[in-house]
Structure 1
Amino acid sequence: MGTSAARSSYITEYFTHGDKGPGLQVVNGMNVIATKRAVEFARKWAVDDRYGGHSMSGPGTASRTREEV
């Protein structure tokens, strides 16, 4: 909160951050099957691309103990 974009991110054009993943140009949102397939594709890519946790410590090395979780 209160930090300028230039100080918090190397790339301040946030809309370009997703340019590393595959995309679908046209998905008919009125077609339930086409939308379902597009979501399945996006989910599979995101899950397959994940290599670990959200922090540098990775899974299993969090700052909280198992009892705290």
Structure 2
Amino acid sequence: MHMFTFFYLAAVDRLSRLRRESDRGDSPVPTAVIIAGLVVAATAVTGLVLQKAESWMNSIPGK
């Protein structure tokens, strides 16, 4: 019974500390926006590289 009381009080104490701490960092929305922007930029760079590579390969004589 003593162990159960200890765990109960430890859980109650931890939950009260979590409720008290108001600074939990940024919301995940700015991070998601940054990731989406990086994906768009990476897609654009990949498209440009693909276009340049295809034009370079098409300029090789003997095809």
TM-score, normalized by length of structure 2?
0.36
Larger RCO (CA within 8 A; separation ≥ 6): 1
User: TM-score by structure 1 length?
Assistant: 0.34
Asked which structure has the greater CA Rg, the reply is: 2
